[in-house]
Amino acid sequence: MTGTSVAQTEADRVRCKPPGTIATILTLAVPFLLVLEATWLTGPVDLAHYLPLHTFFEIFAIAVAALVFAIGWHSHTDETPPALLALSTGFLGVALLDFGHLMSYAGMPDFLTPSGPEKAIAFWLAARGMAAAALLLAAVLPWRPGSAALRYPLIGAVLAITAAVFWVVLWHPALLPRTFIAGEGLTPFKIGFEYGLVLLYAGAALIFHRRRREARTLDVHRMVIAAIAIAMSELCFTLYFSVYDLANVAGHIYKVIGYWCLYRAVFVTAVHHPYEALHRSERDLWREKERARVTLLSIGDGLIATDTAGRVTLMNPVAERLTGWSGGEAVGRPVTDVFDIENAETGERVPVPVQQVLENGQLVGLANHTVLVARGGGRSHIADMASPIRDRDGTLHGVVMVFQDVTETYASREALKDSLSLNTGILESAACGIIATTLDGIIRVFNREAERIFGYPADEMVGTASLPRLYDGEELRAHADRIAAELGRAAPAGFEVLVARTRDGGLPDSGEWTGLRKDGDRVALSAATSVLRDSGGAVRGYLTVVMDVTERKRAERQIESLAYYDPLTNLPNRRLLLEQLDSQLRTARQNGRCGALMFLDLDDFKGLNDARGHVAGDTLLRELAARLNATLRRDDLVSRLSGDEFVILLPDLGERPEEASEVAWRVAEKLRLAVAQPFRLDRYEHSIFASIGLTVFPKTAEETVEDLLKQADTAMYAAKDGGRNTIRDYDPAMLVDAQARLALQQDLRKAVDAGEFTLFLQPQTSADGTLVAAEALIRWQHPQRGFVAPGAFIAVAEESGLILPLGDWILMEACHVLRRLADAGSDCHLSVNISPRQFRQKNFCAGVIAAVRASRIDPRLLTLEITEGIAIGDCADTVAKMSELAAVGISFSLDDFGTGFSSLSYLKQLPVGELKIDRSFVQDVDRNSHNAVLVETMLSIASRLGLKAVAEGVETAAERDFLRDHGCAIFQGYYFDRPMPVDDFMRKYVVPAERTIIEEPALA
């Protein structure tokens, strides 16, 4: 195809491309609105000489409908799309019915029976109904080429329906409802029918629009416009009062526009698209021929084609060069004259494979040791392949030989040896151990780093199936059980354990193991096993890459120690205590064995700190930890919660609670006496005593870890109330403030409904006092009690469940404050504390998102502070909820970091962006060396994990300076500012953005 014809096709495509659908619909809507306004404001507008104009419109519409039928009926008879067939046959009926309408119009000669408005309207409605049905069928039927079986049933049905309409309208009009009353206008039936047609046309347009992305042969853009235009036509026909008024004329104009768009769509579908496809096919054929010619000339292999008589018909330049024959000389000669080959090893002549292919019709190849002898005597090692040439029906028409000069392959063998030597050098200098094995586990490669890691020389390992002995046997057995569960089959053994996942899944299998050295030492390994494939993709063996991660593991254990152990006493912290207590509680319920939990608190420990300083207090705590551990059994656990508070877990004390209580009481007495022994603090002794509360578990099936801690804590306070240096067993009756707490709970319940709560904001600033964010804090002003501190009612709210509505109120109020800040031009972030119980609600995420959307705030300005209890709960649920909220922009802060709950392992899983260092570590950080070390570690962890750090409870300039100097950027505490009402916060920290209020004119 020439460039001119290609350009012409492109021009046709541009010409046939319809204008934008929406732009066209808007253009059509403007005149309709003008007609509507003219009809409503001025009433009917009759036009003189309307009959000739109507006749012109209808003749045009009939002609277009007939063209739609003719083009659609005669296009691709055997492969006409069902949609196009339905459209074209339907518009045959439309053309006939529109002819009936034209001939029956008022003012026309009688058409078999007297003409008149209602007769014309009857034909009109029938034609419009036929058109709507045709468009709907075109919208829903397949658009791909289909069978011609529907052609005659469709046209038969259309003609039958059309004949039935003519029969009823001409000879039985009484069967039809009234559609027009002179002097009154259209009847409700006629208007309702027209509206129904509008809906059908709009439905067809909608279906066309929704299917616009399907592979199609229909011009969907014009089909949509046609349906909309005809729908507007029907709307116009619901507006006229006289068959000669402006709305009637507008309806006919829209009808003509719709028919014309329909004709253009069918023309593009049935005529233009096939014509364009023909041009594309010719162009593609020319390109394929040109591509084949260029490929033949540029291919790097020699190519010779022959006919069925073995005569040369084609040679490419590479074949000419290798054989020494030009194409002009070789064509027509027997291929044996041109292609002279012999065996490279024996020198014997080798038959040309052409004849063999002609005889059996199969592909034939020659080995690389075949030599091609050129016309001038040159010799080339070649690899040859001869293949039959067949036409579409499989008839053999000749043979094509493709051969490649592989002379350089022989010369490259030495280079290959050098390459192998280089690879060996790389293998031996690699910084990781590399072990390659066969499919059955025989070690083939054991590099120098593998020798260093395992302590075995390579010559002792290569050729043996010794890979499993390099791994810990217990870990291998556990891994085998996991694989058996995953793959649903018997557990593998030996070498199979290490490669089962890789072999079955084809993907690398990585993990961490304990390696066994030859000298008996154990090393921590990171190992990854993958398959080794040959050039054909077949699996030939396995490659294991191992790295010695012993030092990394040691560092991780040190970091983990910070998360699970108290750095001062090296006792388990609250995090580890809760995990162990939860485990022991479940075990006790399962085994029917009772345990006990003790809460030990030193009496007047603060006096020691005040009198001797924190160094003396820390020394006493360390020695106390050692005494407690020495007094307890090996399976018992003593942990330090904070300050001078210790919790002791005693598992497996007996089957009966009474028995367990007796044993626990004896242990508690030993602990009390151990504490009472004087402590040697540098150059002096100090005596201190302890109050101990204990509780036995399990008592009920619903009892939780937190319940046990509260019981032991309550008993401990009962011991303090009983004179200190005593022991108390938990008894529900010891809750002497139960009535007061109940009254507080009732007041709290009323306060939620009465709106007695208010929100205070405490700023979070940079070191120089610049506002960065704020924390929302709840305050309760009781009518009789006065100000009630949060510490006095938050716990009651948690216990009673009132924390849920209270938490919802705080969250919503915080969102309103953020909205207010944003309206004032401030981008201040706001933190909101979320209780564990509130977080665990199923609809928590939905509630937060709803509050954000209702207040129309930027979710990135909202930070949710999650407590320690959330972090150690259901990790999967926590991660899922936090991830869902983080996806909409809400950030999270981990509150009270460092108090024992927070763990680096959780930090790696949770989408937390901020750590809040608890005030217990911030206080006296400039003077307390242990607090200083802890805070430095926390800030370092936050920095390394890319998290912001907020220091709570900053009360002195010295504390601020220490924190600032060690990398803390955000501060919160009385040194900077106290919590304050929202209005005070706005006046102090937010400068309202200037606004210009523009009065909008009232709508008429």
Q: Per-residue pLDDT averaged across 209-232, rounded?
A: 69
Residue 62's pLDDT band, with cuts at 50, 70 and 90, is: confident
pLDDT number for residue 185 = 63
Residue 161 has which token pair? 């329906």
Report the pLDDT value the prediction gives residue 251, as an integer from 0 to 100: 67
Name the CATH architecture for the domain at 563-736. Answer: 2-Layer Sandwich (3.30)
Dihedral angle at the C-alpha atoms of 28, 29, 35, 40, nearest 10 degrees?
170
Render pLDDT for 489-534 as a digit per residue (tens, 0 to 9): 776 777 777 887 787 766 778 888 888 898 888 888 888 888 888 7
**Residue 220 · residue 273 · CB < 8 Å:** no
Q: Which fold has domain 752-989?
A: TIM Barrel (3.20.20)
Confidence of residue 5 (pLDDT cuts 50, 70, 90): very low
- Residues near 216 by beta carbon (within 8 Å), at least 6 away in sequence: 143, 144
Confidence (pLDDT) at 449: 85
pLDDT digits (tens, 9 = 90+) for 563-575: 788 889 999 999 8
Q: Catalogue the long-range contacts made by 609-617 (C-beta closer than 8 Å, 24 or more residues apart).
A: 612/681, 612/686, 614/924, 614/927, 614/928, 614/930, 615/929, 616/681, 616/682, 616/686
Which residue did the predictor score with more confidence, 845 or 246? 845
Q: Percentage of the chain surpassing pLDDT 90?
A: 26
Query: Mean pLDDT over residues 407-431, rounded?
Result: 63
As a whole number of angstroms, the distance between CA 741 and CA 748 comes to: 10
Domains 301-411 and 434-548 share a fold: yes
pLDDT at 374: 86
pLDDT in tens, 718-741: 898 778 899 999 988 775 554 576
C-alpha span between 302 and 374 (Å, rounded): 13
- pLDDT surpassing 70 at residue 245: no
Respond yes or no on whether the N-terminal peptide bond of residue 698 is cis (omega within 30° of 0): yes
Mean pLDDT of the chain: 80
Mean pLDDT of 912-937: 90
Structure tokens given for 965: 């100097």
Is 3.30.70.2750 the CATH classification of the domain at 301-411?
no
How far is residue 10's CA from residue 7's CA, in Å, rounded to a whole number?
A: 5
Using CA atoms of 359, 365, 366, 368 in order, give the dihedral in degrees to the nearest 10. 170
Query: Reduced to 3 DSSP states, what percent helix, strand and coil does the chain have, rounded to the nearest 5?
Result: 55, 20, 25
**CATH tag, 434-548:** 3.30.450.20
Cα–Cα distance, 862 to 824 (Å, whole number): 16
Distance CA 400, CA 397 (A): 10
| Intra-chain end-to-end CA distance of the chain, in Å | 66
Q: For residue 561, is pLDDT > 50?
A: yes
Among 838, 768, 839, 841, smallest CA distance to 803 is for 838
pLDDT of residue 541: 86
pLDDT band, residue 8 (cuts 50/70/90): very low
Please give the pLDDT value at position 997.
34
Q: Is the pLDDT of residue 793 over 70?
A: yes
Q: How many CB atoms lie within 10 A of CB 409?
A: 13
**Which one is predicted more confidently, 859 or 469?**
859
* Selected residue with higher pLDDT from 651 and 14: 651
Query: DSSP letters of 790-824?
Result: HHHHHHHHHHHTTHHHHHHHHHHHHHHHHHHHHHT
| CA 43/CA 37 separation, integer angstroms | 9
779 or 150: which carries more pLDDT confidence?
A: 779
Domain map (residue ranges) of the chain: 48-274, 301-411, 434-548, 563-736, 752-989
Residue 649: band (very low, low, confident or very high) from pLDDT cuts 50, 70, 90? very high
* Cβ contact 703:697 at 8 Å: yes
Does the structure show a pLDDT above 50 at 119?
A: yes
Q: How far is CA 796 from the centre of its chain?
A: 40
Calculate the alpha carbon distances from 341 to 353, 367, 864 in Å.
Answer: 10, 12, 82
Given this model, what pLDDT does residue 901 score? Answer: 44
**Which residue reads 């938490």 in tokens?**
807
Residue 398 Rama label (left phi>0; alpha psi -120 to 50; beta): left
Q: Can you spell out the DSSP letters for 826-838?
A: ---EEEEEE-HHH
Instruction: Supply 309's token pair.
Output: 């008589």
Q: Is 147 helix (H, G, I), strand (E, B) or coil?
A: coil
Among 41-55, 58-72, 213-227, 850-864, where is mean pLDDT lowest?
Answer: 41-55
Find, among 41, 213, 216, 197, the residue nearest to 133 by Cα: 197
Which two structure tokens, joined as six digits, stand for 909?
Answer: 């899983």
- Mean pLDDT over 349-366 rounds to 81
pLDDT at 1002: 32
Furthest CA-CA distance within the chain: 133
CATH of the domain spanning 48-274: 1.20.1070.10
570: amino acid identity, one letter: N
pLDDT of residue 872: 56
**For residue 242, what pLDDT is reported?**
52
